[in-house]
Structure 1
Amino acid sequence: MKFPFPLPFSFRIASLKSGLFWRTFFLLGALTTTSMTAWVGMISVVQHEPQVQQISSQVISVVTITHAALTHSAPELRRELLLDLVSNEGIRVLTLEDDDLVDPPADNALMPDIEKLVKAKLGEDTRFSSKVNGVSGFWVSFKIDDDDYWLMLERERIRGLTGIQWVGWASVVSVVSLLGAAFISSLINLPLRRLTQATRAFAQGKRPDPLPEKGPIEIMEANRSFNQMVDDLQQVESDRAVILAGISHDLRTPLARMQLEVEMANLSNDAREGIQSDIGQMDAIIGQFLDYARPTEASSFVNVDVSELLRDTAHEAGRIPELRVSTDIADDAHVMGNATDLKRVINNLIENARRYGRTPGGDATEIDIKCAVKGTHANKRVVIEVQDHGSGVPDDQIDQLLKPFTRLDTARGQANGAGLGLAIVERVLQRHGAELNVSNRDGGGLLIQIAMKGL
């Protein structure tokens, strides 16, 4: 069993990383990123040559047309032509001077191939620059007669020289892909989360709402099977209650007749006491069966004052001559539960200690009952301990104690009963969402510890 209170932060983080939602999300995200990277790489390779051809042709055409326009225009009209090129076409033509401050051309995958094609058409002495005298643009040199000139094209007209647009589009696609991965992961995880919550509620003794029988066929079949299982188990519980009521009546009625007949029969005191003892044991065994099978409904849980319950139980046990009960019970220990069932748990533990926990060589059984409240308000736990001072149990046989119909006679002495005492304890505590821990006590004896969520 597990603690019902909040888990440590590190454990929650580990669960988050290993959850189905995040695994699906990361797998879809990785797949999308890999696909997008491959797509961008493929597009870059495929369009490299056409883009180089397009940009080179554009640069060659602009330089050639500008060269022809300046060569064939009248000298007095050249200034007006240059102003028109700047204002209408975004083309600037300047005289190339030896003292010009020239930056190298843009460093990208296209530029070397562009330079090669342009130089093949305009001449090997053609120069390129990304900035001349502090002015950014796509600069290329050309000659008119013996004079050198700079021609500048605005960068907007030369597409594909930078990867900014690719990065922008890739970012948009990545965000959209991750949102899609989160949405798909939620759709996949939602039915499983519903099933988990319903299973947890059913394990705590509650009847969960029927799961929706729709969606993918696998989810639909799983939900339908779970709903059918809940209905079947509820029917089994109902049938078992009827059967147990019949067993209680059919067996205890003849036992009561036998008890009456023994009282009225002409028997010796030893024979009468022996038969009465056997009848009492049979009645106790029937009671154990009923306690083990009796369901504990979560709807019956109320605020139980564990401190008061333990004090009352210890006081009642202290009346038994062969028991010596010592207590160390904290005040204001409260839990949600069924007070009758919790008292039955403590009584079973005390009876178990009385039968099997007698101090070696002693004339009585010593039992220690402790209760402590641990943790903060949001993570409060009530820890109950019942321990005896007997011979204990071999460590390799402790797990056997909680199994129904099991008695470790060789370790704990000869026993009467069905061997359901600790099995009943575990069954009741499991329905209360508590943890049961059985171990050997330091100094001898058995230590039984119960941890429950406190209020």
Structure 2
Amino acid sequence: MRLFKPVTLARLKSGLFWRTFLLLSVLTTLSMVSWIGMYNYVQRGPQAQQLAAQVISVVTITRAALTHSVPELRTELLFELVSNEGIRVFLLEENDEIDPPPENELMPDIEKLVKAKLGADTRFSARVNGMRGFWVSFKIDDDQYWLMLERERIRGLTGVQWLGWASLVSLVSLLGAAAISSLVNAPLRRLTAAARAIAQGRRPAPLPEKGPQEIRQANRSFNQMVDDLQQVESDRAVILAGISHDLRTPITRMQLEVEMADLSQDARDGMKSDLAQMDAIIAQFLDYAKPTEAASFVNVDVTGMLHEVAHDVARLPDVKVNTDIAPDAQVRGNTTDLRRVIHNLVENARRYGKTPGTDMAEIDIQCTVRGMHTAKRVVIAVQDHGVGVPAEQIAELLKPFTRLDVSRSQANGAGLGLAIVERVLQRHGAQLELSNREGGGLLIEISMEAI
């Protein structure tokens, strides 16, 4: 399981994983600091008493053994103390080089407790005559002696050791916080990925209905929503098929009757125009409602497709086409739907982008590849040289059934052209931007991930 990913400042501020991770880390750190402080406070007294009792016991037993032993056997006794117990006894001389006692936070308490038992004149040292250890003085009659213990026997945890343990606990705590954050956010990541798949027109795999009750309920509701949407799509497909059949059949019959009826040419042309407009409106409804399946996506040669569209449009008598198309521009998508999108944009420019004072529409078709490596995007621009659209009304162009009075007073159709374009591009994960062109006219840009 991958716990860490490259971090940016924006992600650190907004990412739920990192917020959870930081909160858990702060909580763990504060808990550990509080525990160490409380442990030191509670354990300091008992630990000092234990070490002092150990020193008092060793000194008392050693002094008693030396006092009651036969003088001839004291040398052998001292040897056994060194070899078996690590205890050394030396005669205290006035000219001994004595260092201060060991630097230990427990040492003041140990000194106080030991002096209370052995006498106020008891001396302590960390080094005598260059020999390191824990040195304690004691008396036998009028003679003074040094008793040296190994420092490890009375040494508590040093600052370095505390730092080492604290670092280890901190590392384990951070790893635990990262693991907990990842587990907590895993259901949300799956839900986000599934929602993104739906937005792209794909049916996501069912979310696992297990784990905490809240997660189970959320995943169960999401899975039910996906099933309901799928059923709605199926029902809509059936309804659209019925509309196509039930409406176009009588339209075709009416067209035949118009041809056979005894009508004037003007009346016949008018009725033909009305029937053709009705058929075009039905086609727009079907195009708007038709889903774009991600399973049908293939590699699309955008360069070749734009050249073909430009060639087809250039044959019309009222259009002038200018092209600037980058070579080898390719995207992933549905070829038929993308071709329909370009045709809709060009047709929109031809109808409503007439150059002022003329009956000609000048259309610029451009295609560029921007970025590098995996961040490359194909940007398609279609712009006309007409009067453009008021800036405050540009957003209205993408709404279904919207026709602006200025530019579409003579428009035929239901006002779904650009709405169809936006719907198809959303399913392709593309971006659509509309703006007024410098010098007049409308500029429409499509940005898609390149392959």
> TM-score scaled by structure 1?
0.92
Q: In the aligned structure 2, how far is the partner of 1:105 from the partner of 1:392?
A: 92
Structure 1 segment 101-180 matched on structure 2, within 5 A: 101-160=97-156, 162-163=158-159, 166-180=162-176
Deviation at 1:168, TM superposition (A): 4.7
Cα distance in 2 for partners of 1:133, 1:370 equals: 92
Which residue is equivalent to 1:298? 294
The structure 1 residue matched to 2:376, chosen from 371, 376, 380, is 380
Amino acid at match of 1:341: D
Q: Which amino acid aligns with 1:299?
A: A
Q: Which moved more, 1:110-119 or 1:96-105?
A: 96-105
Aligned with 1:109: secondary structure?
Answer: coil
Deviations for 1:396-433, whole angstroms, at most 9, x for unmatched residues? Answer: 22222111111222356543221111110011011111
Instruction: Tell me by how many angstroms 1:288 deviates.
Output: 0.7
User: Are the structure 2 counterparts of residues 166 and 104 from structure 1 closer, same or farther at C-alpha, using a change threshold of 3 Å?
Assistant: same
Q: Deviations over 1:42-101 (max 9, x none)?
A: 121112211121111221222222223323333333222222211111111223334433
SS in 1 for 2:374: coil
Structure 2: gaps of 5 or more residues? none
Contact 1:393 1:412 (8 Å CA) reproduced? no
Structure-to-structure mapping, 1:28-427, within 5 angstroms: 28-160=24-156, 162-163=158-159, 166-410=162-406, 413-427=409-423
Q: Report how far residue 223 of structure 1 moved.
A: 1.2
- The whole-number CA distance in structure 2 between the counterparts of 1:270 and 1:235 is 47
Q: Residue 247 and residue 20 in structure 1: after superposition, are their counterparts in 2 closer, same or farther (change >3 A)?
A: same
Cα distance change, pair 161–243 in 1 and its aligned pair in 2 (3 A): closer
Q: Is the 8 A contact 2:25 2:177 kept in 1?
A: yes
Shift in Å, 1:363: 2.6
Displacement of 1:161 in angstroms is 5.6
Question: Alpha carbon RMSD of aligned pairs, Å?
Answer: 2.2
Moved more, 409-418 or 163-172: 163-172
Quick one: which amino acid aligns to residue 344 of structure 1?
R
1:360 partner SS: coil
1:171: Cα distance to partner?
Answer: 4.2
Task: Answer with 150-159 or 262-271: which moved more.
Answer: 262-271
Distance 1:102 1:36, change over 3 A: same
Task: Find the residue that maps to 2:300 and give its secondary structure.
Answer: strand
Q: Deviations over 1:308-348 (max 9, x none)?
A: 11111111111221111111111111111111100100011
> How many angstroms does 1:13 deviate by?
6.0
- The answer to whether the 8 Å contact 1:353/1:365 transfers is yes
Q: Which moved more, 1:124-133 or 1:343-352?
A: 124-133
Q: 1:448 aligns with which of 440, 444, 447?
A: 444
Residues 325 and 367 in structure 2, CA contact (< 8 A), matched pair in contact too: yes
Which of the residues 392, 416, 430 maps onto 1:434?
Answer: 430
Matched letter for residue 300 of structure 1: S
Output the CA distance in 2 between the equivalents of 1:404 and 1:132: 96
| Structure 1: gaps spanning 5 or more residues | 1-8
Contact 2:370 2:377 (C-alpha < 8 Å) held by counterparts = yes
Which range moved further: 380-389 or 138-147? 138-147
Aligned position for 1:3: none
* Amino acid in the other structure paired with 2:373: H
Q: Is the 8 A contact 1:357 1:412 kept in 2?
A: no
Q: Which secondary structure state, in structure 2, belongs to the residue aligned with residue 448 of structure 1?
A: strand
How far 1:240 sits from its partner (Å)? 0.6
Alignment-derived partner of residue 20 in structure 2 = 24
Q: In structure 1, what is the Cα distance between the partners aligned to 2:146 and 2:408?
A: 106
State the secondary structure of the residue aligned to 2:406.
helix
CA distance in 1, matches of 2:152, 2:178: 37
SS of residue paired to 1:124: coil
Q: Offset of 1:178 from its aligned partner?
A: 3.3
Alpha-carbon distance in structure 1 between the residues aligned to 2:422 and 2:276: 25
Count matched residues: 447
CA distance in 2, matches of 1:158, 1:443: 90
